[in-house]
Amino acid sequence: MENTKNTNYNEEKEKETFTRINDKRQIVGDKHEYNQKLPILIQAEKLCEKLNKIDPFDDKKREKIYKKLFKSFGKDIFIRPNFRCEYGKNISIGNKFICNFNCVMLDCADIEIGNNVMIGPNVNIFTINHDIRAKERNQFVTYYKPITICDNVWIGGNSTILPGVTIGKNSVVGAGSVVTKDVPPNVLVSGNPAKFIRDIDNEEK
């Protein structure tokens, strides 16, 4: 996957403000950690505002925003407005990425997107969750798990991908699904919660 790296990305500085996650561990954040990250949150929100106001077909202007916003991105990516993310710095995007209207990515943990991925309108990708216990929730305790979307995945409109999920290569998520568990390669899943519908034959005829 040939990606363009964010030239403004300072790894040492990020280590001070981000808990890096490269596996399925559950990481806990609190209000103090949130306050440390606030400047990055504000920057990402401003960059998303700028991105959503640029002509969707003005690749040069949009690429300038991508370089400041994302951790890395590939060739031929097309993101329609209104796109929103929380940090941007935890999002890696492969080649030939299509993202339709009104996508939200809450990237407190890593979101890794492969090549040839298609995302329908009104899709939510959430790496963060609040504690279900009122006391902890009121103290701003949150839990992060990374999300991986492998090559050639299509996520149908109005779907939600929840923390810790990996969607396997060539798989399809039906419109309106809530994906709570890993999706194997080469399958169709759909529903709330998303369940296996059938295998997809991706072998060449």
Sheet holding 172-173, edge to edge: 77-79, 97-99, 118-119, 154-155, 172-173, 187-190, 195-199
Whole-Å CA distances, 26 to 32, 108, 162, 165: 18, 12, 13, 12
pLDDT at residue 24, as a whole number: 39
Any domain includes 169:
yes
- Smallest Cα–Cα separation from 175: which of 123, 115, 118? 123
Q: Which of 31, 46, 53, 130 is an active site residue? A: 130
Any domain includes 22:
no
191: left (phi over 0), alpha (psi -120 to 50) or beta: left
Q: Quick one: tokens of 58?
A: 């003005």
Any domain includes 108:
yes
Given a contact cutoff of 8 angstroms between Cβ atoms, the answer to whether 177 and 156 are in contact is yes
pLDDT at residue 69, as a whole number: 97
Any domain includes 17:
no
Record the pTM: 0.83
Any domain includes 19:
no
Average pLDDT rounded to a whole number, residues 179-190 = 98
- Smallest Cα–Cα separation from 65: which of 79, 51, 53? 51
C-alpha distance across the termini of the chain, in Å: 26
32 catalytic per annotation: no
Number of domains within the chain:
1
9: pLDDT strictly greater than 50: no
Any domain includes 170:
yes
pLDDT at residue 15, as a whole number: 39
Any domain includes 115:
yes
* CATH number of 162's domain: 2.160.10.10
Separation between Cα atoms, residue 148 and residue 114, nearest integer Å = 8
Domain region containing 49: 29-135+146-199
Q: Quick one: tokens of 164?
A: 């810790």
Separation between Cα atoms, residue 38 and residue 140, nearest integer Å = 14
Mean residue pLDDT across the chain: 86
Any domain includes 78:
yes
